């Protein structure tokens, strides 16, 4: 996982209290998935 993905994840968790997030690589783009399967793009 790229460091910017980790930082983005931590920021999002702090700001939204969204809970567990997973960062995955999809078609050369990093995407964060929350536990409900909601996707957040990370370019």
Looking at residue 38, what is its pLDDT?
60
Number of independent structural domains in the chain: 1
Note down the domain range covering 10: 3-42
Mean of the per-residue pLDDT values for the chain?
62
pLDDT of 7 reads 73
pLDDT of 35? 56
User: pLDDT for 14-23, tens place per residue?
Assistant: 655 555 556 6
- Mind giving me the DSSP string for 1-43? --HHHHHHHHHHHHHH----EEEEEETTEEEEEETT--EEEE-
Closest C-alpha to 30, from 18, 20, 39: 39
Tell me the per-residue pLDDT of 28-42, one tens digit each, with 9 for 90 and over: 666 666 656 566 665
């Amino acid at each position: 996982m790229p460091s910017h993905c980790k930082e983005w994840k931590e920021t999002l968790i702090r700001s939204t209290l969204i809970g567990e997030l997973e960062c995955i690589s999809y078609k050369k783009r990093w995407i964060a998935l929350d536990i409900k399967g909601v996707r957040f793009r990370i370019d």
